[in-house]
Amino acid sequence: MTVESLLAEVTRGINIICPWPEGHLQRVAGYSAQLASAAALDGAVTIIEKAALLHEIGKLAIPDDVLRKADRLTLDEFELVKRHTLVGAEMCRSLPDGDAIAVVVRSCHEHWDGQGYPDGLAGEAIPIGARVLAVADAFDTLTMDRPWRSAYAPEEALQILWFGAESQWDPRLVEMFDRIVRPAFSKRRPA
């Protein structure tokens, strides 16, 4: 079995178990690869793309009733969900390039201002691959329906990213991401 076929099988399994629209992991991987390329992270694009496909793998260890809960999570439930980055990083370590992938998976919920998890890293201390993945994942998550809200339009999602630049996301990467995706959805508007 090749690494690519293993990734495809694992991604398929995550998509079956986890409650989000089909294609989320693939879209996040695509956005991540585009952003990593734009940021001239040429040597890391493949690692970041693989991490994007696997960044939710730790959620396989979360009880289904918590994972699929439509209401607001309790503090204990949220603490349980937050562990998915640690569990996911450990699960990735056995894969080819696993240590590099694990670094990205572990840190993809860190915030630019240090208020994220699991380690409270801030700014440049957050691995660049995790910062790339965080922007891509946030955009895709914002533009899909959730149990508690409807999807945001791409323009609205970008506004939210800009609002969170310097607190949640790397402002330089938000700017690059905007330049990448805005032309794609601007072309779809009727004249």
- CB 92 within 8 Å of CB 105: yes
Q: Treating both helix axes as pointing N-terminal to C-terminal, what angle do 24-38 and 3-17 enclose, rounded to 10 degrees?
A: 130
Both ends of the chain: CA-CA distance in Å?
48
Tell me the fold of 3-182. Answer: Hypothetical protein af1432 (1.10.3210)
Q: Please give the model's pTM, rounded to 2 decimal places.
A: 0.90
Which of 127, 51, 134 minimizes the C-alpha distance to 89?
51
Sign for the pseudo-dihedral over CA of 118, 122, 123, 127: negative
CA separation, residue 75 to residues 6, 40, 79, 177 (Å): 35, 39, 6, 32
CB 138 within 8 A of CB 169: yes
What's the token pair of residue 171? 């402002």
Reading the chain (191 residues) residue by residue, the pLDDT tens digits are 566 776 777 777 776 666 566 788 999 999 999 999 999 998 999 999 999 999 989 988 889 889 888 888 999 999 999 999 999 999 999 888 999 999 999 999 999 999 999 999 999 999 999 999 999 999 999 999 777 778 899 999 999 999 999 999 999 999 999 999 998 887 665 54
User: Which runs of consecutive H residues, i.e. helices, occur in the chain?
Assistant: 3-17, 24-38, 45-54, 64-67, 75-82, 84-92, 98-107, 128-142, 154-164, 171-186
